[in-house]
A and B are shown apart, each in its own frame.
Chain A
Amino acid sequence: MISPGLDLQMNFEQALESFGFSHEVAHILWLPLPMLLVLTAALIGVLVTVWLERKISAAAQQRIGPEYAGALGILQPMADGLKLLVKEDVIPKRADGFLFTLGPILVLIPVILSWLIVPFGQNLLISNVGIGIFLWIALSSIQPIGLLMSGYASNNKYSLLGGLRAAAQSISYEIPLALAVLAVVMMSNSLSTIDIVNQQNGAGFLSWNIWRQPVGFVIFWICALAECERLPFDLPEAEEELVAGYQTEYAGMKFALFYLGSYINLVLSALLVSILYLGGWGFPIPIEWLSTWLGESFNSPIFQLFAGSIGIVMTVLKAYLLVFLAILLRWTTPRVRIDQLLDLGWKFLLPISLVNLLVTAALKLAFPIAFGG
């Protein structure tokens, strides 16, 4: 059963129209609101992730970590951001100034645009575009151009090597990533993220895609880590070999753009894993059961509000569990070599994901009830 859920847009526009605005004006007034909200949510998500990274890395290395800025050092990421904001913006003399500035922007914009398709509830997303998850795959393929651009424009051999490595890595891991997504899309008969989540929420946590796509889940998670350049795969900025890769020459706000981009991308990947494989906003037991237990009608406003908030909490909770896993992985695993990285991508993940796709197609034909006929 698909419930209408909260529809903030409809309510907002109806409220404005009742004040005497025309329908078009109400729509235009509505448009920037969800974008601003999601941008704020993404930035706060980054601040939380940076704090978690500092605290968990400290725990992994038996240190205390940040503790003076706010309670438990919770204001430390703000202090970091403020520091980067007021730092001098250095452009090396022999660098190509225009491309040097454009590079970080090209890295950040596709990542932020991809938040367009992240749903927090039945109607709680910016735009339910039909191509949904495919939009994210297409947008994330723009990023390597920005990395190559900043690597080239820095006029520094470490930067160029880092940029080339980043591009090679993201091209190699995009293919298994797309194939893993394709298997999920095949089961839900739709590219839209809303449909993908709805298809998983028939019987609580038992119907989550992770049980039907365990291999796809692992492939997707490995590839997502590689696309985010997180530690087992952080070759583009390997400190011991390349100083800091393509970021070597960057300082101040331009460096902050790279930093933001990589953390927003991490949170986004975690959110997408939770949407594709862990049931998105779904509660571990079907939310309809809760309404009958509580003796509250499913369509009553109070219960809709309750269900909406539970949806947001569940999405964020699942995503942050995955972020925690990524941080633990970063501080406990060594870096792979470049040949191991490419071997893993092309000789292991690519064949496995192809087999996964074929098996999913076969299972879909054999058991159309369980695999979305």
Chain B
Amino acid sequence: MNIAASTEIICFLILGSIVILGSLGVVLLKNIVYSAFLLGGVFMAVAGLYLLLNASFVAAAQVLVYVGAVNVLILFAIMLVNKKETLKPIKGLQIRKILSGSICLGLLILLIRVDITTPWPLPGPVSIGEQATERIGEHLFTDYLLPFELASVLLLMAMIGAIVLARRDVFSTDIETGNNAGQELIEKSNAPLIIDKTS
């Protein structure tokens, strides 16, 4: 085994343990802020795994999208609503935990079975290295064009939905109760601070 291969294995072991321990921490930690920061660490480690697989473009996209956008927005939302609140105790929490735990375990067993039974071609296909970016672009605009466009329509829908939800002044009354639901902007740009008393 030469130096490059052994470094690769050491990196893989470190990154793999960061991913597994980090994601366990994301689920199990009580403090939601720690969970969010750990999630960022897990995303970074996944990007590192992509880098080990010679997929540098995918790794950079992973960092840009998941760490730079998704995780920052999660943190942003958590910190904007950083309110200590005593939550109502949920009935049957223990059963729910056991149920979701067993579903996750079942999925894990399924994945392990797939991993063992699939005949993986070894060694894999030759990596194309730096040309990967061009190849991804070609695929996105030829045989994967429809999924690509569908994903962009989905994102557009999500964006319009978010704008409608954020702009409550579209619905000035609550549909169910009939109360006024309009929200004034907290920061107005041009309202004078001193009230004109002459008139």
Cβ–Cβ < 8 Å partners of A174 in chain B: 68
Task: Let me know if B3 and A24 touch, CB within 8 A.
Answer: yes
Task: Let me know if A130 and B72 touch, CB within 8 A.
Answer: no
Cβ of A223 to closest chain B Cβ, rounded Å: 15
Q: How far is the CA of A141 from the CA of B47 in the complex (A)?
A: 14
Q: How far is the CA of A148 from the CA of B60 in the complex (A)?
A: 21
A133-162 CB mask vs B (1 if < 8 Å, else 0) is 011011101101100110110000000100
Task: Let me know if A141 and B75 touch, CB within 8 A.
Answer: no
Q: How far is the CA of A12 from the CA of B80 in the complex (A)?
A: 54
* Contact flag A148-B76 (CB < 8 Å), given A131-B56, A131-B57, A134-B60: yes
Cβ–Cβ < 8 Å partners of B40 in chain A: 145
Cβ of B82 to closest chain A Cβ, rounded Å: 8
Cβ of A121 to closest chain B Cβ, rounded Å: 20
| In the complex, A349 has a CB within 8 A of chain B | no
Q: How far is the CA of A92 from the CA of B199 in the complex (A)?
A: 52
Q: How far is the CA of A160 from the CA of B80 in the complex (A)?
A: 9
| In the complex, A79 has a CB within 8 A of chain B | no
| In the complex, A2 has a CB within 8 A of chain B | no
* Contact flag A137-B133 (CB < 8 Å), given A129-B56, A160-B79, A171-B69: no
Task: Let me know if A145 and B69 touch, CB within 8 A.
Answer: no
Task: Let me know if A142 and B68 touch, CB within 8 A.
Answer: yes
| In the complex, A338 has a CB within 8 A of chain B | yes
Q: How far is the CA of A148 from the CA of B33 in the complex (A)?
A: 11
Task: Let me know if A134 and B72 touch, CB within 8 A.
Answer: no
Task: Let me know if A191 and B63 touch, CB within 8 A.
Answer: no
Residue of A nearest to B61 (CB): A138
Task: Let me know if A139 and B63 touch, CB within 8 A.
Answer: yes
Cβ–Cβ < 8 Å partners of B33 in chain A: 152
Cβ–Cβ < 8 Å partners of A142 in chain B: 44, 63, 67-68
Q: What is the total number of residues of chain B having a CB less than 8 Å from a CB of chain A?
A: 30
| In the complex, B184 has a CB within 8 A of chain A | no
Task: Let me know if A167 and B72 touch, CB within 8 A.
Answer: yes
Cβ–Cβ < 8 Å partners of B61 in chain A: 138
B16-30 CB mask vs A (1 if < 8 Å, else 0) is 000000000000000
Across the interface, A339 reaches (CB within 8 A) one of B37, B57, B80, B189, namely B189
Interface centre among A99, A144, A174, A338 (most CB of B within 10 A): A144
Task: Let me know if B63 and A141 touch, CB within 8 A.
Answer: yes
B68-97 CB mask vs A (1 if < 8 Å, else 0) is 110111011001101000000000000000
Cβ–Cβ < 8 Å partners of A137 in chain B: 60, 64
Q: How far is the CA of A24 from the CA of B57 in the complex (A)?
A: 27
| In the complex, B149 has a CB within 8 A of chain A | no
Task: Let me know if B56 and A148 touch, CB within 8 A.
Answer: no
Cβ–Cβ < 8 Å partners of B37 in chain A: 99, 145, 149
Q: How far is the CA of A130 from the CA of B133 in the complex (A)?
A: 8
Cβ of B59 to closest chain A Cβ, rounded Å: 8
| In the complex, B115 has a CB within 8 A of chain A | no
| In the complex, A197 has a CB within 8 A of chain B | no
Residue of A nearest to B68 (CB): A141
Q: How far is the CA of A237 from the CA of B190 in the complex (A)?
A: 23
Residue of B nearest to A103 (CB): B37
Cβ–Cβ < 8 Å partners of A144 in chain B: 68, 72
Task: Let me know if B68 and A191 touch, CB within 8 A.
Answer: no
Across the interface, B79 reaches (CB within 8 A) one of A131, A135, A138, A152, namely A152
Cβ of B180 to closest chain A Cβ, rounded Å: 25
Cβ of B193 to closest chain A Cβ, rounded Å: 13
Cβ–Cβ < 8 Å partners of A145 in chain B: 37, 40, 67, 71-72, 75
Across the interface, A148 reaches (CB within 8 A) one of B63, B72, B132, B187, namely B72
Which B residues lie at the A interface, using CB under 8 A?
A: 2-3, 33, 37, 40, 44, 56-57, 60-61, 63-64, 67-69, 71-73, 75-76, 79-80, 82, 129-133, 187, 189
Which A residues lie at the B interface, using CB under 8 A?
A: 24, 28, 99, 129-131, 134-135, 137-139, 141-142, 144-145, 148-149, 151-152, 160, 163-164, 167-168, 171, 174, 191, 337-339
Q: A134-B64, A135-B60 are in contact. List 14 more A-B contacts (CB 8 A).
A: A99-B37, A129-B130, A130-B130, A131-B57, A135-B56, A144-B68, A145-B40, A148-B72, A151-B79, A163-B79, A167-B72, A171-B72, A191-B133, A338-B187
